[in-house]
Amino acid sequence: GGTVHLVCRNKERAEVARQEIVTETGNQNIFLHIVDLSNPKEIWKFAEKFRNEHKLNVLINNAGCMVNNRELTEDGLEKNFATNTLGTYIMTTALVPLLEKAADARVITVSSGGMLVQKLNISDLQSGNGTFDGTMVYAQNKRQQVVMTEQWAKAHRNIHFSVMHPGWADTPAVRSSMPDFYERMKNSLRTEAQGADTVLWLAVSAEATKLPSGLFFQDRQPVPTHLPLAYTHSPPEDEEKLMEVLEEFSQKFKSASPG
């Protein structure tokens, strides 16, 4: 019954997904927007246009990547950081003014339990130092998403923010970016529907918003963002610094965005 806007990178695959939804639900209000979320200027351009033309009740940040070799975008940004962290930051902050106008507005960011192995590291956001390990870079980005969510929850009291771990699901992304993990685990991975369950619950259920904003969820339950004795807590000033740096990046690309 909802109006759904799919923001996708690949037009052909997006069209197939859109058609599947329309066929299965009979809902014609499924709209496509082709945006590369590793390109900050494109995100700004999309968000500014979207704000003028649509209303928004729920934003789900689900796009992500795990690139296993250090690649730079055309803007000179490391690709995992550009997509998972900066892309999520710009998309969310650019749409906050629209969400502020809605009753019961929500933002859900799809993180990963992998973030539990990483402590926030603001000294090397572009992973330029030392050996590049795509899995750890991805985990660091997912930790950054948890921190962003906690900070947004403090700053925007009338929007309900949450971040979640979908569990390890059998998706094309897991197969291509983590082939060894996939081979070991393929018989115990979740289906895509199981992976999406908590996302949908956070998006539409009345129960979810009875819980405080800014929490990390797994299987419809808030769970800790740090393992016991893992020493992954970071000082508040590091968390604030992350937001400052992302805001600087964001504004730099905003001024450069066409239109």
Active site residues: 138
Cβ atoms of 80 and 66 within 8 Å: the answer is yes
Rg, Å, the chain Cα set: 18
CA distance 204 to 171: 23
Q: Which residues of 194-225 are buried (b: 16+ CB within 10 A; e: fewer)?
A: ebbbbbebbbeeeebeeeebbbbbeeeeeeeb
Give phi and psi for 29, each to the nearest 5.
Answer: -85, 55
CA distance 152 to 96: 10
Strand duo 215-218 + 221-222: pairing:
antiparallel
C-beta atoms surrounding 243 within 10 Å: 16
What SS3 state is found at 59? strand
What SS3 state is found at 216? strand
CA distance 89 to 84: 9
